[in-house]
Amino acid sequence: MLKILIVGEHDGKTLNLATLKCVTGAQGLPDAQITIALLGADTAAVAAQAAAVPGVHKVLRVDRPENAHALAALYAPQIVALAADYTHIFGPSTSFGKDLMPRVAALLGVPQVSDLMAVEAAYRFRRPIYAGNAIITVEADPARKLVATLRVASFEAAPSTGGSASIETRAVAVALPSHTRYIGAKSGSTDRPDLQTASKVVSGGRALGSAENFKLLFSLADKLGAAVGASRAAVDAGYAANEMQVGQTGKIISPEIYIAIGISGAIQHLTGIKDARTIVAINKDGEAPIFEVADIGLVGDLFQIVPELQRLI
Amino acid sequence: MQKIMVCIKRVVDYNVRVRVKPDGSGVMLDGVKMSVNPFDEIALEEALRIKERVGNVEIVAVSIGVSDTQQQLRTALAMGADRAILVQTDTAVEPLIAAQTFLALAKKENPDLIFLGKQAIDDDANQTGQMLAALWERPQATYASKLDIAGNTATVTREVDAGLETIEVDLPAVVTVDLRLNEPRYVKLPDIMKAKKKPLDVTSLDALGVAAASLLKTVKTEPPAQRQKGVLVKDVAELVDVLKKKGLI
């Protein structure tokens, strides 16, 4: 039997949807028994949520005051202490998992499969390289533990109810370093859906021309109940916040509908959206590469189209 | 602050559209333009700016790769690094082995800071910096978009999914940089000439006591599934109509 440990991502209150996607990914492994580890100051609430996910065998709670913030240097040795009983250690390919999991892998002395997008066998996986321009199949040695981050856009979220996993509290007796300290966070969070997991996304590029003009997209998004994303060019130009960036070095997303407005469609951007169910492109340049991947395209001036679109929906 | 080590990777240039070999054995790299990984340029730029602020800091650019990687290290020297070290090897080095190699260099050089790009744009692994920090038993500050150093402490703003997070790390530390930390300088011709005279040492994995190993075997390389080109609609009314029919809005 394969024993999978998923490092759960949460904010102390809610289990991140990325963790539910990891559960689905782990279920693709043959004969897998899935455990979710939760580190935090008080994980009681999120542990109850994790235990309700069908297919989860056990939830491990590691509560200590130092775990209030997800610092990789503190979390990694604790994950390593838990890892002894497991064959596979998975985390989500989010900024949380990308920061933490390689540190875990190095402490275990094993390689990591980043952005695992498909399971072919217990130790055989597919992952993208070169901004998604190539997909490689990699094989790992079954004699070693397998550490991976799972590309969240590649997996549906597991249901959040119906399961009844046992919850265990674990005291992990490892000394934690004091060399890394959390200071604070500035979140651009709004009442809009989370970009990473939204089913609808409206996204803008450099053609918006200013942060002020981006308000057009926020307004359209609010009418649609959509999250708002941006191309790297728009973020670099200061029109949109960094956490809105979609693409190779930003967020990789898989919404039901992605509306790209004034985005030309650089390959690095396209790699972030190619798992979207439907892509709509609005751009004044009919030759823009975004139209090569769009399901529905409309050539024209976004400053006329967007307000009209908002009126008609 | 006396010494900063910057790890640099030679990668296929950002503007090259990479294609998969028909036999699935890898991607076509013959005659393709190679460059410094763009994130590593940002890493080096940050080191140079620290040097310009505090003075008297030695910047060592290091890389692992084929003999031609000297070209990328010369670029780093032209940008302003003081000296360079190439760990020459003809086999591709995975992130864990790269981290072990940089650890061996760190133990020789004893830098106060090690900068790396957050990921290389070839394998997109996003691992080496974190692995190096783990093996070195030092702090990591990944995805840095702002960095302040005061005494023995670095305050780093990190780009995370929810926005920006600030942490404080004691030096020595490993910092991996994100896109918006800075804009790397252009190299000027006189600097290229000057760079030719700067020291570039070549060593090997063997000499550093690192065992080359392939831990993850790549058994197949394929092109990604292509999306089908869709339809063009003539106006907003038709767009709304199509979206409504598909149940998307």
Q: What is the pLDDT of residues A254-308, one digit of tens each?
A: 999 999 999 999 999 999 999 999 999 999 999 999 999 999 999 999 999 999 9
- Nearest chain A Cα to B140, which residue? A73
Model pLDDT, residue B249: 85
Residue to test with chain A: of B127, B145, B217, most A Cβ within 10 A: B127
Mean pLDDT of all residues in B109-113: 98
Residue to test with chain A: of B166, B177, B236, B245, most A Cβ within 10 A: B236
Model pLDDT, residue A189: 61
Model pLDDT, residue B25: 95
Residue with tokens 């979390």: A75
CA distance B19 to chain A (A): 7
- Nearest chain A Cα to B100, which residue? A106
CA–chain centroid gap for B94, Å, is 13
- Nearest chain A Cα to B13, which residue? A130
- Nearest chain A Cα to B156, which residue? A183
- Nearest chain A Cα to B222, which residue? A135
Model pLDDT, residue B227: 86
Instruction: Please report which confidence band the pLDDT of residue A187 belongs to, taking 50, 70 and 90 as the band edges.
Output: confident
Is B126 in Cβ contact with A103 (below 8 Å)? Answer: no
Task: For residue B131, give the nearest of A106, A187, A189 by CB distance.
Answer: A106
Model pLDDT, residue B228: 83
Cβ atoms of A98 and B126 closer than 8 Å = yes
The model carries a pTM of 0.94
Which tops the pLDDT comparison, B68 or A197?
A: B68
What the block records as the tokens of A255 is: 């919404």
Q: What is the pLDDT of residues A102-143, one digit of tens each?
A: 999 999 999 999 999 999 999 999 999 999 999 999 999 999
Is A103 in Cβ contact with B133 (below 8 Å)? Answer: yes
Task: For residue A114, give the nearest of B126, B159, B217 by CB distance.
Answer: B126
A206-209 own/partner pairs: CB under 8 Å, 24+ apart: A206/A231, A206/A233, A206/A234, A206/A237, A206/A239, A206/A262, A206/A264, A207/A261, A207/A262, A207/A263, A207/A264, A207/A283, A207/A284, A207/A302, A208/A234, A208/A239, A208/A261, A208/A262, A208/A302, A209/A239
Over 90: is that where the pLDDT of A191 sits?
Answer: no
Is B139 in Cβ contact with A177 (below 8 Å)? Answer: yes
Whole-angstrom distance, CA of residue A269 vs CA of residue A244: 12
ipTM over cut 0.90: yes
Contacts of A293 (CB under 8 A, 6+ apart): A265, A270, A273, A274, A279, A281, B227, B229
CA distance A166 to chain B (A): 30
Task: For residue B224, give the nearest of A132, A242, A309 by CB distance.
Answer: A132
10 Å CB burial of residue B112 (0-12, 13-18, 19+) is middle
Identify the bridge partners of residue A277 per DSSP, sorted by sequence position: none
Mean pLDDT of all residues in B230-243: 95
- Contacting residues of B for A101, CB less than 8 Å apart: 130
Instruction: Please report which confidence band the pLDDT of residue B148 belongs to, taking 50, 70 and 90 as the band edges.
Output: very high
Residue type, A270: L
Percentage of residues in chain A with pLDDT exceeding 90?
A: 96
Whole-angstrom distance, CA of residue B202 vs CA of residue B211: 17
CA distance A298 to chain B (A): 5
Is A129 in Cβ contact with B133 (below 8 Å)? Answer: no
Q: What is the pLDDT of residues A149-179, one digit of tens each?
A: 999 999 999 999 999 999 999 999 899 999 9
CA distance A275 to chain B (A): 9
Q: What is the pLDDT of residues B175-222, one digit of tens each?
A: 999 999 999 999 999 999 999 999 999 999 999 999 999 999 999 999
Is B216 in Cβ contact with A111 (below 8 Å)? Answer: yes
Q: What is the dihedral of CA B181, B12, B102, B74, to 10 degrees?
A: -80
CA–chain centroid gap for B6, Å, is 9
Task: For residue B17, give the nearest of A99, A111, A267 by CB distance.
Answer: A267
Q: What is the pLDDT of residues A9-36, one digit of tens each?
A: 999 999 999 999 999 999 999 999 999 9
What the block records as the tokens of B6 is: 């910057």
